[in-house]
Structure 1
Amino acid sequence: MTRSLNEDDIVEAFVRHNAASLHHMVFLDNGSTDATLDILRQLQAEGISLSVFQTIAAGFDEVAVNTWLYRMADQMHRADWVVFLDADEFITTTSGPLLERLNARSAQDLAITVPLVHYFDTVEDDAAEPIVPIRMRWRARGETGVAKMFIRGGLGTRVSIDAGNHGGILDGRPVPTPHEYQVALAHYPRRSGWHDMQKYVIGWLKVLAAGQAAIGADRSSHYRSPFQTLRDKPSELVFNTGYIAPPVDHAIAILAPITYLGGDLRYTAVSDPGMKTLSLALHYAEQLARQHGALQDRSPEAKQLVNRWNAERKFLF
C-alpha cells in the first residue's frame, strides 16, 4: 500500500524492485502532476499487478486514509499480509525472500515492524544513472530508530493504521509489533538538493492550505524553516553546491548499496531536477489557487469571507 506524489524519478524502480516480494500493489496518488501516473499505467499494461486511486484534497487525515488502504487490501484482495511502503522505500532481506520471512512468523504475530535505513545523495553519485538505488550507494551508519509496520490481513474493521504507518490500533489497543531483523526498508527520501526543495515547498504549502488545525498540530513542521529560507534568502540554498550535491560524510555514512531486483527501466525519463522542482511547485500552487476559486464559486460563506478580506483596510504608517 503506497501513497505517492510526483515520484516519476523513482516510481518505476520502486515497482519493479518491490514486485519481486509483493503479489499486488495499491497506490493512492495525492495529485501528481509529473509522469508518475503515466509510468504506473504503463507498468500495469506490461502485466505488473497494481491498482491506482487518486485524491487531490489538501488535508491531513492520515489515519483515515491509511485505514482505508488497509481495508482495500483486506476486502478487495484478501491479503495475507499488508505491507505499507512509501514510494521511496525498497524492501531488502538478509535471509530469504520476504514471503518466507513472513510465513516463518508465529501465527500469534499479527504485525511486525521493520527498520528504515536512510540513504544519502552525494557528489559522488552518477547523475546519469536513472535507477535511484543503484545511483545512491551511501547509507547511514547504524539504525535510524524509525520503523514501518507490516500487518496481517483479515482484521477487517477491528484495526486502524496510525499516521506514518508506524503502528496501529486493534480492538482499542496498540497492535503488538515485534521486530523482524532479517528485513529492512532502504529509504531514499532526498535524491538531490533540488528534490529536497520540491518536497518542502509543496509540503509546507499543503500545511498552510489545510488550515489552522494542521498548523497547530505541527504537521510537517520540519518543512517550515527551509521553506522560509528559500522564500526569503533563496541564494543560501540555490547557489550552495554543498547543499545541492553534498560531499560524503564518512563519520555518518558507509558505502552499502542494496541489491536492486528490478532490472532495467523502460518508462522513466531523466530530467533536470532544478527545472522539475520549479515546474512542480508552480503546478501545485496553481492547483491550490483553483481549489480556492472553487470554494468561492460553490460556498456563499467562503465568498463572503473573501469579500470581507478584500474590504479590509489597515493603516500601516
Structure 2
Amino acid sequence: MSAGQLLKNANQLKRGGKLDEAIALYHQAIELSPNFSFNHYELGDAFHKTGNYAKAIIEYEKAIELNPNINFFHHSLEQAKASKDQLNINHNSNQSNVELLLVGISMIKNEEDILETFVRHNLNYLDFLVLADNGSTDNSRIILQKLMQEGLNLCVIDDNKMAYSQSEKITNLYRRVATSFFPEFIVPIDADELIQSPSKQSFLNSLQAIPKQGVGLYPWKTYVLEPNTNYGALSDFKYRRKKEQPQFFKVILRSNGCVDWKLKISQGYHRLASSSSNVRNLKLPDICLAHFPIRSLSQIFKKVLLGWLGYLERNKSTNSQNQGFQKRQIYERITSGENFYESDLANLALNYAQKVEVEAKDWSCNVELDPPIIKSPTTYFPDLIAPGKNYTNVITTIVKSWENQIIKNPSLISREDLIPFTQSHSESLEDNNENGVFKPDFHLNKLFVDIPPFKYVYERFLPKNVLDVGCGLGAYLKLFNKLGVEEIIGVDGFTPKQSFLQPDQYIRYDLTHPLDLQDKFDLVMCLEVAEHLPSGCEVNLIETLNNHASNILIFSAAEVGQPGKGHINCQPFEYWANLLANQGWFPMLAETLFLRCISSFSWFRRNLVLVKKKSEFTVSSKSFFCSWDKLISISQIPYKWYGQESQIISEMLEVDIPDGVYPSAIESKGGSFF
C-alpha cells in the first residue's frame, strides 16, 4: 500500500475515533515517506487527541521543519504546548485549586485587530470566558466563531443595542455567571486588556488574598506606541506609561460560589457597589492589566466615534462630563475637523484617559521599557484583520453599525415562520397512536423560544443534522435550519395545527416506546420531555436518544417541585444524570455551564446539560471537567422557580434574572454553597 493510501486510511480511522489504529498506519506512512510534512502533522494530531502532548509536539515540530510555511502547523504546536503546560499545572495543583473556577466576562465591539490575542492570552489565566458582542460590524464575530470551534472555553452572545449601557449589561452578565457557574472568582475584562502574571497558579495565589464576597483591585499599565513606529501586533509594544495620572484599577470579584443580588458593577469595571453591605476591597500589587487602548488610527477612530455615539444614544445628551471623557475629547477633535496622522499615535496613546497632558516632545521622559507578558502572541487569522491604515474599513464599520440600528434585524425565527400542518405519511409508523400530553393548539398559545443557547450550540459544533425528540412545534429545529443545518427531524406525540416544520420533517410517535430510525445525527435534543412520560418509560426515552445520537446530546428534564403542565414524573437531577451516565454519557461541563448562563427560561437555567459519550473524551480531559459532580452539587442548591410569559428571546441581555432565584451570599451566611 502506498504512503498516500496509508495516510488516507489513517485519516478515516482518526475521524472514526479509532486513534490507536490510525497511529499505527501513520507510522507506516512515515516509514515509506519520511519527508512528507502532512504524515508527521496528522500523526501529531492523533497523539494530540489521545492526550499524549509530548509526542504530539515532536511530530508537529518535524512537520514544521519540513514545511514551515503552513500556519495551522504552528497553531497546533502552540495548542499542544499549552495543553501540556496546563496538564502539568493540574497535576501539580491540589484538587481544591482545580475547582477554584475563574470566569471572565467581557463586552466587545469591533476589536478584530486584538481579539484573537485577547482570548487566547487571557484563557491561560481564566477557566471560562463569556463575551457579549455589541453589534460588531468588522470581522470580530467571525474570529470569535473560529475560536469557539477550536474548543476553547469561550462563549459569545449577541448584544445589538447600540446605547452604551455597559454597567447594566455587565451586571446582568455577572448575575448569570454567578448563578450558573457558581465560581470562586468573576473577572470583568475589556478586549484591550491582558492579565499580567507569570502563570495561572501565580495569578490564583494573588487572588487568594481577596476577602470572600469581596473585591480585588488591580492596576492598569497602559502600553503606548513608539513615535514613528508602525503597529503590527501587541508584541510590538515595548513601552508603557511611567506614571498613570490618574491610576485606574479594575475589579475582580471573589463571589465564593454565591451571588450578591444588590451588587452593581460600574461603567468600565473600575469599581462596584452593593446596597446590601459595604463590599470589602483589597489592592493586588502583584498583578496588573496590560492596557492597549490605542493601536492604530483606524482602530481609534472606530473606538471613539462609535463609543461616544453610544453614550449619546443612551443619555440623549452631551452633558455626560465624567463617563467616557477620554472618548469625548478625541471625538470632539475629530468632529471639529482636526487632521490626524500616524505620527500622532504615540502622543494620543500617552495621553489617553489622563488628566495631565504630556507634550509629544516629552514622550521619552514619560515612558518605561517594560515589555508585556503575552502568552499567545501568534495570530492565526491575519487575513481577517484590516490594515491599520485602511480608512475605508473605518467608514464601512461605522456605517454598518448605524444601519443595523436603523433597520433592526428581525429575530431568527418568529410566528411568521409557522405554517399550516398537514398529515404526514410517517403516521403509519407502528405505535403511532395519538399520545400527546398537550392539545394541538397548546404550543401555539404557549410559545417559549430561547434563541441564544441554541445559536451558541450551532456556532460551537456546526452540526449537519439535528433530531429533536419531543420537539413540540419544532421551533428549535427551524432555528438550526435557518442557521445552516439542512437535515432536521422532529418527533412528538401529537399532530399540530401549525408547525415550524414541513410534514416530511416531523414524525408523530408515542415516546413511551423506544424509537429507532436507523440513522445517526450530529446533534440530538430532548428538552423537558421525560417528566411527561409515565414512570418507567423514561428508560425507553433514553434508549431512543442512544439510538440516534452519534456524538452530542442536549438533555433537560424537570426536577421534583418544578411547576408545569402535565408533569407526572419529576425526578432529582441526579436521577437523570445516573440514567445518562449508565449509558456512557458524561457532561461537557464548559458547554453545559455556558448554555445555562446564556439561557433565560428558568427551566433551561436549572436543567440543561450537554453530554457526549465517555469514549469521545481524550484521556487528558480533567476529570472535573467531564464529571457529573459539579452539576449534581448545583442541583442541590435551593432554587425558586419563577413564572415567565411566553416569548421568543433573541438577546439575553434584554432579559433580567429575577432577584432571589438562588440564595444570596448573605443568606448563605458568607459561605460557599459547595
SS in 2 for 1:217: coil
TM-score (norm 2): 0.40
Q: Which moved more, 1:56-65 or 1:36-45?
A: 56-65
Following superposition of structure 1 onto structure 2, how do residues 31-70 of structure 1 map, counting pairs within 5 Å? 31-70=135-174
Q: Which amino acid in 2 is paired with 1:271?
A: A
Cα pair 1:109 1:177 within 8 Å, conserved: no
Query: Can you list the C-alpha shifts for 1:173-198, whole angstroms capped at 9, x where unaligned?
Result: 44221101001000001102332222
**1:286 paired residue number:** 403
1:229-268 matches, cutoff 5 A: 229-234=333-338, 236-237=339-340, 240-244=341-345, 249-268=363-382
State the alpha-carbon separation in 1 of the partners of residues 366 and 153 from structure 2. 38
Confirm or deny: 8 A CA contact 1:94 1:183 kept in the other structure.
Answer: no
Structure 2 counterparts to residues 155-304 of structure 1, below 5 A: 155-212=259-316, 214-218=317-321, 219-234=323-338, 236-237=339-340, 240-244=341-345, 249-269=363-383, 270-273=385-388, 274-275=390-391, 276-290=393-407
User: Number of residues paired by the alignment?
Assistant: 283
Larger radius of gyration: 2
Structure 1 residue 102: deviation in Å?
1.7
- Please list the CA deviations of residues 132-182 of structure 1 after superposition, one character each: whole Å capped at 9, or x if unmatched: 2x0222100034510001001212414222222122223434422110100
Runs (4+) off by over 4 Å: 106-109, 244-248
1:141 aligns with 2:141: no
- Identity fraction in percent: 23
Q: In 2 relative to 1, CA 245–145 (structure 1 residues): closer, same or farther, beyond 3 Å? A: closer
Is residue 21 of structure 1 aligned with residue 125 of structure 2? yes
For residues 124 and 259 of structure 1, do their structure 2 counterparts lie closer, same or farther at Cα, with a shift above 3 Å needed? farther
Change (3 A) 1:225 1:180: closer
| Cα displacement (A) at 1:250 | 0.8
8 Å Cα contact 1:110-1:152 kept in structure 2: yes
Give the structure, 1 or 2, with the largest relative contact order (CA under 8 Å, sep 6 or more): 1
- SS of the aligned residue for 1:178 comes to strand
Alignment of 1:124-135 (within 5 A): 125=229, 127=231, 129=232, 131-132=233-234, 134-135=235-236
Which of 99, 102, 106 lines up with 2:204 in the alignment? 99
CA distance in 2, matches of 1:106, 1:112: 6
The secondary structure found in structure 1 opposite 2:137 is coil
C-alpha change, 1:251 and 1:11, in structure 2 (3 Å) is same
CA–CA distance in structure 2, aligned partners of residues 30 and 106 of structure 1: 31
The 3-state SS of whatever aligns with 1:198 is helix
Superposed CA RMSD in Å reads 2.4
Structure 2 counterpart SS, 1:58: coil
8 A contact 1:121–1:192 mirrored in 2? no
CA distance in 1, matches of 2:303, 2:186: 27
State the AA in 1 paired with 2:251: M
User: Could you say what secondary structure the match of 2:176 adopts?
Assistant: helix
Which whole-Å CA distance do the structure 2 matches of 1:141 and 1:227 have between them?
A: 26
Is the 8 Å Cα contact of residues 83 and 151 (structure 1) preserved in structure 2? Answer: yes
- Is the CA contact 1:159–1:170 (under 8 Å) kept in the aligned structure 2? yes
Is contact 2:137-2:400 (8 Å) kept?
yes
Which whole-Å CA distance do the structure 1 matches of 2:205 and 2:138 have between them?
A: 36
Deviations 1:40-78 (A, max 9, x none): 111111111011112111323333212111112211212
Q: SS in structure 1 opposite 2:164?
A: coil
CA distance in 2, matches of 1:66, 1:106: 21
- Equivalent in the alignment of 2:190: 86
Distance 2:211 2:311 in 1: 41
Q: Kindly tell me: are residues 54 and 174 of structure 1, through their superposed partners in 2, closer, same or farther at Cα, counting changes over 3 Å? A: farther
- Cα distance in 2 for partners of 1:106, 1:30 equals 31
Q: Runs of 5+ in structure 2 lacking a partner? A: 1-104, 348-359, 409-674
Note if 1:150 corresponds to 2:255: no
Q: CA deviation at 1:243?
A: 1.3
Displacement after TM superposition at 1:27 (Å): 0.3
